[in-house]
Structure 1
Amino acid sequence: MNTISVFAKTILPLSQTFVRDHILGIQNFPVEVLTCRNSEPSRILPMSAVEMGGNRREAWLSALTGRVNKDASEVLDRSSLVHAHFLTDAAFVYAATSRRQIPLVVTAHGFDATAYRSARLRERTGIISEFRRKSIIDYASSIICPSNYIADCLEFESNVPRGKLDVIHNGVADRFFNHPLSATNPNCLFVGRLVEKKGCHHLLAAWAPVHRQHPDAVLHIIGTGPDEKALKEAARPLGGSVLFHGAKPHEFVEAMIVKARVVAVPSSRARTGDNEGLPIICLEAMAAGKPLVCFRQGPLLETIREGASGLFAKEGDALDLADKIGFFLASQEVSHQYGKSARERALAKFTLNAQMKNIEAVYKRILYAEA
């Protein structure tokens, strides 16, 4: 039986639910998990992740030479295919994989595909990632992209051959489709890291006019990040109408999605080039029957059907964003109608089961070709 080894550099940040869903969603192959650092295995995954190196020096040595410890070597020797998450992080498993001539699949997610080279080099592991980038692209049997936008970025900005790119959307778990459609309270929800590309600063600028029109409305912000202090300062004049919750486990996020009347995803491309791949919060909100308000840009154009399951605002326009959010806060009935359409679209295009079948089809294509 062909074994798939899934590599994630760290197991597992709260924000990377898509990696967890991928590991748990593989149905027709035995699965092993490789990592450079296993932070909280018992809380995140039911199986153990094998560390390739217990410290930064060992991880870099593995990236440069392909030499790994005994446990990781045994996992690789059992592996028929390695699937690495993030084109940048694949540098830490590429050498060990290519030395053994194991087929490699890489999923690009966002920063790793869209950020400019200068920005990628500034990252903590940027030097080794850039050193290996072309070799990884050349060696990989497939680079999976969560949106056509990411595929376009890799083709036109990183010169990846289109035939090597497989567009497979992120997927949403079945349980989200079972939640009630309507929310009685006029709540707006934002979920994401507090960084430039997520656009929370645009949302706070929009919230002042929203709050004047809907004084009972509350904006809930879930997430943390380097911009948190500045965003809290910007929100101070808005008083109790804006609540920062910090980083929260996925169960809390799911409960807040259910309570929201509208979910705002004001992401846009950052000055570093960094942009979204396909935000999981979009898919989870749609499946839970919540309308989305997004900026009209990039991968967000592949999520909602405008005028049916959500609305687009002009990118960077806080007043337009406020108008679109207020449209849903003003009417529970309208929110319900759009939410129903959003759920239907998520069911048709973004179920986790369907996307996992597509990923497994890529595995079979590669493995049968190797055979």
Structure 2
Amino acid sequence: MSQSRRVGWVYPAFGHSAHDDEDASYGHPAHRGFADAVDADPLLFSPVSVGPLSGTLVEDVLAASRSSFPERDVYVLENADAVYASPVIKRAFPDATVVLLAAHNVFGLESYDFDADLLPKALVRKTDRYLDAKLVRALVRRYVDGVLAVSEFVADHVRSFAPRTPVRPVHPYVQPEVADRLDDASADLGANRAITVCEARDHKGVDMLVEAWPAVRRQVPDATLHVVGVGHPDEYEETPGVEVHGFVEDLTAELTASSLYVHPARVDAFGVTVTEAMRAGVVPMVTETTGSFPLVADVSDELVVEPTPEAIAEGVVEFFSRSAGEREALSETARDLADPFVADVQREAFVDSFRDVLGAVERGESA
């Protein structure tokens, strides 16, 4: 994007290899596309060692406080972890505009389920996430000038704790090479086969989906669930009909062998895998606490469920009870609705929202 403003994109150093490899990629791939669209320079926290406190807010705070950033006119913060850099930036460059790209971390993990953790880990983890969310929200209110939220769901949440901050929605997209493969694929709509794709994280809610599966099998005995992604426990396979695949390089075969994609999140900002599945013609089902739920509701209201094992089971059974014609109609609708979630469309929309939120900041407008 041709513009007079110099833009820096602030990434936390944790989990990124950029300090060891100048060509490394970091941040969400769609976010990197957004950064490119506004000609942003990548700026990283300096890494710190905090021993057993690694992965807690202590690491975020120390890394931010010990970092320095080159002068830019606009700083975009890559999700909530980077919000700890906002006071450092504002003290150094008080006239700069600070914009948060808000995704799932902005919710705070105090709203997630920690039953799988044993004491004292559960208490430490829950306390850390609770305090992290409180601090991030306070910093957003004080130091962040505007917010770009990756869904209306996230935007509404940000407005709830920062009502005077301008907020504009943006949407992540399916990577071009992935979109090309999925657009040429066809889902097996006759199979009573469901799939979910994600890393093993509390907020993704896969444990609830596995817990729901015995109830599904009681009504649909041949129903199978395929869990794809790193970190999921092998114990999931003790549940009849559940298979754990681990990491899969190309999801096309796994997706197209399925008729239903389930995203059972307790809280998720958007869920790009939902639009990936839709591009392949796999019918999506999501919880009402998943940011892409308005898109899925446009396929069918019945495909948006409460984030509980009981509601998830009921939704899966309802879909598997549909006729071949009904499944085909839902599949075609899903494909059509996923069509705009590609790089060129969403990067252009991001530029518009970026300019819009900067204009709102300059005019002193609120959310």
Q: Please report the TM-score for the alignment, with normalisation by the length of structure 1.
A: 0.72
Please say if 1:33 is aligned against 2:25: no
Partner of 1:303: 295
Please say if 1:321 is aligned against 2:312: no
Relative to structure 1, the CA distance from residue 215 to residue 298 in structure 2 (aligned partners, 3 Å threshold; closer, same or farther) is closer
Partner of 2:251: 253
Contact 2:216/2:316 (<8 A) preserved: yes
Please say if 1:154 is aligned against 2:158: yes
Please say if 1:6 is aligned against 2:4: no
> 1:212 offset after TM fit, Å?
5.2
Relative to structure 1, the CA distance from residue 364 to residue 200 in structure 2 (aligned partners, 3 Å threshold; closer, same or farther) is closer
Contact 2:220/2:317 (<8 A) preserved: no
Contact 2:268/2:289 (<8 A) preserved: no
Partner of 1:290: 282
> 1:144 offset after TM fit, Å?
1.5
Contact 1:173/1:351 (<8 A) preserved: yes
**Aligned counterparts of 1:64 and 1:100: Cα–Cα separation in 2:** 15
TM-superposition CA deviations, 1:132-166 (whole Å, max 9, x none):
6423333322111222222222222x2x0255111
Partner of 1:208: 214
Relative to structure 1, the CA distance from residue 128 to residue 188 in structure 2 (aligned partners, 3 Å threshold; closer, same or farther) is closer
**Aligned counterparts of 1:287 and 1:297: Cα–Cα separation in 2:** 22
> 1:237 offset after TM fit, Å?
4.1
> 1:106 offset after TM fit, Å?
0.7
Aligned partner letter, 2:148: I
Please say if 1:181 is aligned against 2:174: no
TM-superposition CA deviations, 1:283-325 (whole Å, max 9, x none):
2222222111223456353221356497234542254134134
Partner of 1:140: 144
Relative to structure 1, the CA distance from residue 130 to residue 204 in structure 2 (aligned partners, 3 Å threshold; closer, same or farther) is closer
Matches within 5 A, 1:158-173: 158=161, 160-161=162-163, 163-173=165-175
> 1:117 offset after TM fit, Å?
9.0
**Aligned counterparts of 2:196 and 2:26: Cα–Cα separation in 1:** 16
| 3-state secondary structure, aligned to 1:302 | helix
| 3-state secondary structure, aligned to 2:10 | strand
Contact 2:90/2:143 (<8 A) preserved: no
Partner of 1:45: none
**Aligned counterparts of 1:17 and 1:309: Cα–Cα separation in 2:** 36
Contact 2:34/2:350 (<8 A) preserved: no
For residue 23 of structure 1, the aligned residue among 21, 25, 32 is 32
**Aligned counterparts of 1:252 and 1:342: Cα–Cα separation in 2:** 21
Matches within 5 A, 1:1-371: 2-9=5-12, 10-12=14-16, 19-36=28-45, 52-53=46-47, 55-56=49-50, 60-64=61-65, 67-68=67-68, 73=69, 76-77=70-71, 79-92=72-85, 94-96=87-89, 98-101=91-94, 102-113=96-107, 115-116=109-110, 122=126, 130-131=134-135, 133-156=137-160, 158=161, 160-161=162-163, 163-174=165-176, 175-176=178-179, 178-183=183-188, 185-211=191-217, 216-225=222-231, 228-229=232-233, 232-233=234-235, 235-238=237-240, 241-246=241-246, 248=247, 251-268=249-266, 275-297=267-289, 299-305=291-297, 308=300, 311-316=303-308, 317=310, 318-327=312-321, 331=324, 333-348=325-340, 350-365=341-356
Contact 2:49/2:59 (<8 A) preserved: yes
Partner of 2:22: none
RMSD of Structure 2 on Structure 1 (CA): 3.8
**Aligned counterparts of 2:196 and 2:274: Cα–Cα separation in 1:** 10
**Aligned counterparts of 1:18 and 1:289: Cα–Cα separation in 2:** 28
Contact 2:7/2:41 (<8 A) preserved: yes
**Aligned counterparts of 1:310 and 1:179: Cα–Cα separation in 2:** 27
Aligned partner letter, 1:21: A
> 1:208 offset after TM fit, Å?
2.5
TM-superposition CA deviations, 1:99-149 (whole Å, max 9, x none):
123321112212423544999984668767754642333332211122222
Same amino acid, percent of matched pairs: 16
> 1:58 offset after TM fit, Å?
8.8
Partner of 1:39: none
| 3-state secondary structure, aligned to 2:321 | helix
**Aligned counterparts of 2:285 and 2:185: Cα–Cα separation in 1:** 19
Unpaired segments ≥5 residues, structure 2: 18-24, 51-57, 113-122
Contact 1:282/1:292 (<8 A) preserved: yes
TM-superposition CA deviations, 1:146-191 (whole Å, max 9, x none):
22222222222x2x02551112233233442623233265431112
**Aligned counterparts of 1:282 and 1:255: Cα–Cα separation in 2:** 16
Relative to structure 1, the CA distance from residue 35 to residue 91 in structure 2 (aligned partners, 3 Å threshold; closer, same or farther) is same
Q: Please report the TM-score for the alignment, with normalisation by the length of structure 2.
A: 0.73
